[in-house]
Amino acid sequence: MQFLPELTLLGAGLVIFLVSLGKTNADKIKTVAICLGAAVFVATLVSFRAQGHLFYDSYKIDLYSQVFKCLIAGAMFVVLILGRKLKDIKNSVHPEYYLFLFISVLGLMMLVSSVELLAIFVALELSSFAVYIMVPMRDDSGNYRFQMEAGIKYLLFGVTATGFMLFGMSYMFGLTGSTQLPVVMEKLSYMYDQPAAIIAIMMVLAGFFYKLALFPFHFWVPDVYEGASNETTAFIASVPKLAAVALLIRIVSMVNGEGQIIVNILMVCAVLSMFYGNLSALVQTDVKRMLGFSGIAHAGFVLLGILTFQLSGYANALYYIIGYVVMNLACFLVICSISNNGENVQICDLNGLHKRSPLLAITLAVALFALAGIPPFVGFMGKFMLLTGALKQGYLFLVILAAINTAIAIFYYLSVVRVTFCSDPDNNNPVISGIFTNTTSIVLLLIIVIMGVAPQGFINFATSAVQSIM
Amino acid sequence: MDQLLINPNYPHILSTLVFLPLAGALLLLFVKNEFFARYWALGITALTAILSIPLVSAFDTTSSKFQFVEQYKWVDSLNIQYVIGVDGISILLVMLTTFIMPLCVLASWSYIKTRVQTFMICLMIMETAMLGVFMALDFVLFYILWEAMLIPMYLLIGIWGGPRKIYASIKFFLYTLAGSIMLLVGIIWLYKTNNYSFFIPDMMWKNYSLTAQIYLFFAFFLAFAIKVPMFPFHTWLPAAHVEAPTAGSVILASVLLKMGTYGFLRFALPITPEATTLLMPYVLWLSIAGIIYGGFTALAQQDMKKLIAYSSVGHMGFVTLGIFVMNIEGMEGSILQMINHGITTGALFLCVGMIYERTHSRELRSATGVGKYMPIYVTFLAFFSLSSFGFPGTNSFVGEFMILAGTFKHNISLALAAIPGAVLAAAYMLRMLQKIVWGGTDNPDQSWLNDLNLREIITLCPFLFFVFWIGLGPQPFIDLIHISVVNLLDQFHAHQGQAVAAAELILH
């Protein structure tokens, strides 16, 4: 029961593996994968209330981890649906693609439950390596090989970040003589006057900054987003970020609030992340690249909640990342539907989308306005709460900088909305979106609006989830 | 909570007004019939207008409290409430909004030919947001509606606008959004300072430190001055006005611009009274600059919509002038002038739109000499033009007269500086009127033009009615706003601290 979601995922991976041994039929694989994804989601729901410790206390199952598992499974399910055609992946490797997808998600689910340094490391690598392989799996029809470049970049930067993390873990072990996260952080809290402690914590956090694409660990983002196939990017842009935020909150919540240096470092990262992401996004023409840069900026906003070192701040960060993942998935849903053969979508490809597919146009517009933080959508509520939380802690200057970023960001989101709504289509090919896509986009739209208009329930929920680890 | 008055006879009237158009818009999402969409939008907006009449008839003119209040919890963890109410400052603006919307629908009847449902949905969402902004008594609720309004307005300009619609719509959006960003920071600061409450009446008349007040005032000023728009923040206005479809121009001119001045009255004055006193001279001279600049620029325009857009800059300069002279005549005149400007300029934009529908040109040159063939049209146009430059007997005369009277009371050099603005207004309006009615010897052939049809006459009649009602008998309107203005000014003068008194001494 406690380990049910992970076991289901493992089983799903095995089933896919077995299917891949036989004759591959893309349709069959697709159906099997979606069913398995649904099964995983159900499994996370079933074990939602589970509690306990496993594997000699290195694995903790609490409300917090279960909430994240549920979110991860839900996001994965949406990714499976929006990418069910795997347009730009060779038919022959579809089973392998799904296999790695499930393994990666397995790693992420294990990650959110891990409370021991080595377990964290193993889980993180499990998920990362699977994605390293998924990125270059894109079909090389144009012979550009940019998926290879993306794969190598993702791998090299990932390995570097992992190196940082391992190095930090060795410091932690050296300073405290333990690898149990609670013990480590408790002992470290007496050592905040020593640079070694600060360096250790920051280096361990760096591993998650990488997954979250936070400045200065963001370098992989634009190329990987552009090089990986649309479905893979949708996955990279959403699911791992959930897990990264989960671990960031888990670790930071154990840091004693007196670590002012840590706060300062986080603040600098947050502000640079926002400015770097938003300013770079202004000039992009590839929608995925633009979303990548916007993701960097949003990572900065998430950090705004974490660096308050308050229960409410963590809850806001959790609320925000959920909102972000939903908005992002809505964007990728449109991207995956628009792109006929899985090629990248340029902003001008969206010309006159309102005529070709009104529902997708509305989905995209709402998602982008929400990302920009325009009320009444979830993006506004999330930003508003983060800013309120930060100002409560007295970080007025930080709040002003973050607010300025909102104004910068609106331009590039608006330029996409502009072409979808205010221009006529270059070609009148209607976009074919099946019942699956339409239902998913309506569900995502509803979540974006409801979370924005009636956030109280979600906030209470996030608070109680975070409370379970405090 | 003593500032709130619940009217037991009409417990949910304001919510009904706010949510009726929204519900109408949502239902219209499922309809694919353009014909139905027009009638549906007209019906919903007209119903909203009719339902808003009890607001005036049941309004207690002896109280400066917020009336028809509804209060519910919304987001508990942040103490955000859904609380709405109207007082003397906002009631006329609410009425203006509800009455202008059905006319906007009528004006778009044949003007909008593509994507009619979407257009009507945008109009109705706009109405919800605009009414909400004037009623909101919770700062977050206010801000949400204030920002949310940008989306439908952006689409109105960006989809159905003129040739440079992309530029105009983006400029409008960016300007307004960038301006209100610091307002958001200010709101959160106020929330923290006021014991974690977003309730607007709780934030008023607190003695914040002068430094804080000055920062807050700047945050407010940036947001509201852009919306008004005050010189030199006005550059988005001509672009947006010119490119927007007729209904969009009317909404912009009649309602959206008023949100800026409403913001000054509702927030800047009560929350930062000392900073207002300190910075008042600068705002006043900026208003004068706007009046003169708007007048001269309007005089030079060849494009009718641009001409009226720049005249708006001038007229809104009068409104801010009246607000910041801080006496009863000026302020009452300002509120009245806000309504007047909404009526007159809205009507003028409708008139230009009617010509545009026929000739597909906004150029003054191509509309010369239509008086011979469109007698009904030019009759309306003449009245609205006279009203625009404040001809006695029309509504603007009352407003401008009160504002100037207040200005004379405050500072004579200021008043003398504003006078040329009134003269300029006559010059550019008469110039336009002369060209359109008579033109010259080189008039293009206008004989093919049809005069106004019944729908267009019905659209313009209510405007004309109010032009004369306010012009000849403004007392009922002033009665509605009087107590609230008196209360605002009393409180304002009672909350001037020592620092300001010292600064005043130095200044004079």
pLDDT at B500: 63
Looking up tokens 């009455």 gives B99
The answer to whether A170 faces chain B, any CB pair under 8 Å, is: no
Whether B463 shows a pLDDT value over 90: the answer reads yes
Among chain B residues, the shortest Cα distance to A419 is held by: B166
pLDDT at B502: 63
CA gap A112, A245 in Å, rounded: 9
**Which of B74, B170, B189 comes nearest A418 by C-beta?**
B170
Subunit contact A422:B165, Cβ cutoff 8 A: yes
The answer to whether B143 faces chain A, any CB pair under 8 Å, is: yes
Confidence of residue B220 (pLDDT cuts 50, 70, 90): very high
Whether A441 shows a pLDDT value over 80: the answer reads yes
CA gap A402, A302 in Å, rounded: 11
Q: How far apart are the first and last CA of chain A?
A: 24
pLDDT at A344: 81
Subunit contact B143:A459, Cβ cutoff 8 A: no
The answer to whether B78 faces chain A, any CB pair under 8 Å, is: yes
**Alpha helices (runs of H) in B161-268, residue ranges in sequence order:** 165-193, 200-203, 210-227, 236-243, 246-251, 257-263
CB contacts < 8 A (A, B): 83
CA gap B312, A130 in Å, rounded: 62
Mean pLDDT, all residues of chain A: 86
Among chain B residues, the shortest Cα distance to A406 is held by: B181
pLDDT digits (tens, 9 = 90+) for A249-304: 888 888 766 667 888 888 999 999 999 999 999 888 888 889 999 999 999 999 98
Of the residues B81, B117, B147, B175, the best mutation for testing chain A's interface (the one with the most A CB atoms within 10 Å of its CB) is B147
Whether B78 shows a pLDDT value over 90: the answer reads no
Whether B299 shows a pLDDT value over 80: the answer reads yes
pLDDT at B62: 86
Whether A184 shows a pLDDT value over 60: the answer reads yes
Residue of A143 and B231 predicted with greater confidence: B231
CA gap B62, B483 in Å, rounded: 6
Of the residues B79, B121, B171, B173, the best mutation for testing chain A's interface (the one with the most A CB atoms within 10 Å of its CB) is B173
* φ, ψ at B71 (rounded to 5°): -140, 120
- CA angle A246/A252/A256 to nearest 5° reads 155
Whether A221 shows a pLDDT value over 80: the answer reads yes
Residues of chain B by 3-state class (helix, strand, coil), percent to 5: 75, 5, 20
* SS3 assignment, position B226: helix
Whether B503 shows a pLDDT value over 80: the answer reads no
Q: What one-letter code names the amino acid at A394?
A: G
Whether B333 shows a pLDDT value over 90: the answer reads yes
Confidence of residue A328 (pLDDT cuts 50, 70, 90): very high
pLDDT at B291: 92
**Which of A388, A403, A456 comes nearest B181 by C-beta?**
A403
Chain A environment of B150 (Cβ under 8 Å):
374
pLDDT digits (tens, 9 = 90+) for A126-181: 999 999 988 888 876 666 677 888 888 889 998 999 999 999 999 989 888 888 88
**Which of A375, A387, A411 comes nearest B148 by C-beta?**
A375
Q: How large is the average pLDDT for residues A352-367?
A: 87
User: DSSP secondary structure string, B339-365?
Assistant: HHHHHHHHHHHHHHHHHHHHHS--BSG
State the residue range of the domain holding A93: 4-467
Looking up tokens 């300190």 gives B278
Closest CA to B291 of B347, B363, B344, B341: B341
The total of other beta-carbon atoms located within 10 Å of residue A235's CB is: 26
DSSP class of A217: S
User: DSSP secondary structure string, B358-410?
Assistant: HHS--BSGGGTT-TTT-HHHHHHHHHHHHHHTT-TTSHHHHHHHHHHHHHHHH
In angstroms, what separates the C-alpha of B20 from chain A's closest C-alpha?
A: 17
Confidence of residue B259 (pLDDT cuts 50, 70, 90): very high
Torsional sign, CA A375, A215, A113, A231: positive
**Which of A375, A406, A421 comes nearest B144 by C-beta?**
A375
Q: How large is the average pLDDT for residues A363-372?
A: 92
The total of other beta-carbon atoms located within 10 Å of residue A436's CB is: 12
Rg of chain A taking only CA atoms, in angstroms: 21
Distances from the Cα of A379 to the Cα of A384, A385, A404, A448, B344, angstroms: 8, 10, 15, 8, 39
* φ, ψ at A259 (rounded to 5°): -75, 70
Closest CA to B107 of B346, B313, B311: B346
Subunit contact A407:B170, Cβ cutoff 8 A: no
pLDDT at A310: 84
- Which residues, other chains included, contact B241 with Cβ-Cβ below 8 Å and sequence gap of 6+? B249, B252, B253, B305, B306, B308, B309, B312, B349
**Which of B75, B151, B155 comes nearest A456 by C-beta?**
B75
pLDDT digits (tens, 9 = 90+) for B420-457: 988 899 999 999 999 888 888 888 888 888 888 899 99
Subunit contact A418:B74, Cβ cutoff 8 A: no
The answer to whether B167 faces chain A, any CB pair under 8 Å, is: no
ipTM value for the complex: 0.89
Looking up tokens 């947050």 gives A270
Find out whether the peptide bond into B8 is cis, omega within 30 degrees of 0: no
The answer to whether A393 faces chain B, any CB pair under 8 Å, is: no
In angstroms, what separates the C-alpha of B159 from chain A's closest C-alpha?
A: 5
Subunit contact A456:B185, Cβ cutoff 8 A: no
pLDDT digits (tens, 9 = 90+) for A375-413: 889 989 999 999 999 988 888 889 999 988 988 888 889
CA gap A142, A148 in Å, rounded: 13
Distances from the Cα of A268 to the Cα of A282, A308, B400, B432, angstroms: 21, 13, 53, 57
**Cβ proximity of A102 and A13 under 8 Å:** yes
Chain B environment of A388 (Cβ under 8 Å):
78, 188, 191
In angstroms, what separates the C-alpha of A60 from chain B's closest C-alpha?
A: 29
Number of domains forming the structure of chain A: 1
Please, is A290 exposed, middle or buried when counting C-beta atoms within 10 Å of its C-beta (0-12, 13-18, 19+)? buried
Report CA dihedral (B395, B398, B399, B403) to the nearest 10 degrees.
Answer: 160
In angstroms, what separates the C-alpha of A421 from chain B's closest C-alpha?
A: 7
Subunit contact B77:A380, Cβ cutoff 8 A: no
A180 strand-pairing partners: A116
**Which percentage of chain A shows pLDDT scores above 90?**
21
Query: Would you say how long chain A is, in residues?
Result: 470
Whether A354 shows a pLDDT value over 90: the answer reads no
The answer to whether A384 faces chain B, any CB pair under 8 Å, is: yes
Of the residues A414, A449, A466, the best mutation for testing chain B's interface (the one with the most B CB atoms within 10 Å of its CB) is A414
CA gap B132, B14 in Å, rounded: 9
CA gap B93, B52 in Å, rounded: 12
- Which residues, other chains included, contact A119 with Cβ-Cβ below 8 Å and sequence gap of 6+? A55, A58, A59, A110
Domain ranges of chain B: 13-507
Of the residues A384, A451, A459, A464, the best mutation for testing chain B's interface (the one with the most B CB atoms within 10 Å of its CB) is A384
The answer to whether A411 faces chain B, any CB pair under 8 Å, is: yes
In angstroms, what separates the C-alpha of B115 from chain A's closest C-alpha?
A: 10
CA gap A387, A392 in Å, rounded: 8
